[in-house]
Amino acid sequence: MSDIIKLQEIASQVRRDIVRMVCKAKSGHPGGSLGITDVMTALYFDEMQHNPQNWERSGKGQDMFVLSAGHLAPVYYSVLARSGYFPKEELGTLRRFGSRLQGHPCVTDHLPGVFKPSGSLGQGLSVAAGMALGKKLENDAHRVYVLCGDGESEEGQIWEAAMWAPHHKLDNLIAFTDWNGQQIDGPTETITGINDLSDKWLAFGWDVIEADGHDFESILQAFELAHAANGKPKMILFKTEMGHGVDFMAGTHKWHGKAPSEDECNRALAQLKETLGDF
């Protein structure tokens, strides 16, 4: 249990980071980041074998993570900084001119921990699949993780990769979907029905695991199940709530791409314990 309390404390700080970063930048995407915070915290602080002090882009001898849904940059930057990839003070530069923390992640300024740019949706799964094949070719037993959005699954390229990865038996590829049921224009079912995600991935030949994206026991158990060396890539469908942890942002698409005002920021921070010191 103590491990889980530790993860909960980190997640609370990560949520504070997200709200403060986006408020300071006066633009950005807080909703999705808050929703996937628990999963990303579990990934970076428990699941992945990585060495932030000794990072190199080739990812040799380490687990690698690809963010496909690039607008989730705030949570990505926060877990990277809190893991020690770069100083947490840099979080305050999000979206500023000259910052390494671009509105969507990039590799131009060699921000440690970032393997590829993302922003144009639907591409990360293919890249992660390529990395997973690269690791197989190198006999590197480490894994490649990739985060996709549920709305992002409307992109056709996702399904090209979905068909390709099982064919190449990439069981070192662990994909997960942030299944929050929301996208910019509203609930996903009202935009293009992507229901039955589980059936879809199963039909493409993936091991499919469903988990509660806000319950650390469920999250860690899902990762554990995804370790099976059975010749199949893994898709974890994390049920999440957009804006989770901040009552007035929770469960709606309205905070997808909107920054909180100072007042709203303070109201949000009052709900989130500062556990590791703000940036």
Mark the segment that binds another protein (CB under 8 A) among 8-16, 84-92, 104-112, 223-231: 104-112
The DSSP H or E segment spanning 216 is helix 216-225
Which tokens hold the place of 98? 């000259």
Kindly tell me which of 156 and 277 has the beta carbon lying closer to another protein.
156
Among 3, 96, 107, 247, binds another protein (CB under 8 A): 107
Task: State the nearest-atom distance from the C-beta of 163 to another protein, in Å.
Answer: 7
- Give the residue with the Cβ less far from another protein, 25 or 165: 165
- Minimum distance of another protein from residue 184's CB (angstroms): 18
Nearer to another protein, 19 or 127 (CB): 127
| Residue tagged 């963010």 (tokens) | 67
- Of 3, 27, 49, 57, which lies in the binding site for another protein, with binding defined by CB under 8 A? 57
Per rule CB under 8 A, is residue 235 in the interface with another protein? Answer: no
Among 41, 118, 182, 188, which residue sits at the site for another protein (rule: CB under 8 A)? 118
* Binds another protein by CB under 8 A, chosen from 32, 35, 59, 181: 59
Query: Element (H or E) spanning 64, and its range?
Result: strand 64-67
Query: Of 9, 46, 90, 160, which lies in the binding site for another protein, with binding defined by CB under 8 A?
Result: 160
Tokens of 235: 């898709």
Q: How far is the CB of 161 from another protein (least distance, A)?
A: 5
- Measured from the CB atom, the residue of 138 and 196 that comes closer to another protein is 138
Q: What residue ranges in 71-203 does DSSP mark as E strands? A: 144-149, 173-179, 182-183, 186-187
58 vs 195, beta carbon nearer another protein:
58
Closest to another protein by CB, 138 or 185: 138
- Contact predicate 211/43, CB 8 Å: no
Total residues at interface with another protein (CB under 8 A): 36
Reported as type and span, the H/E element at residue 131 is: helix 124-137
Contacts (Cβ under 8 Å, ≥6 apart) of 43: 65, 79, 145, 223
Query: What sign does the CA torsion over 237, 133, 84, 278 have?
Result: negative
Pair of tokens at residue 145 = 């993780």
Contact call for residue 48 and another protein (CB under 8 A): no
In the structure encoding, which two tokens stand for residue 73, read together?
């940059």
Give CA–CA dist 219/10, Å, rounded.
15
Q: How far apart are CA 14 and CA 6, in angstroms?
A: 12
Footprint (CB under 8 A) of another protein, residues 130-159: 130-135, 137-138, 156-157
Does 126 bind another protein (CB under 8 A)? Our answer is: yes
Find residue 70's DSSP bridge partners.
none
Residues that bind another protein (CB under 8 A): 57-60, 106-108, 115-120, 122-135, 137-138, 156-157, 160-161, 163-164, 167
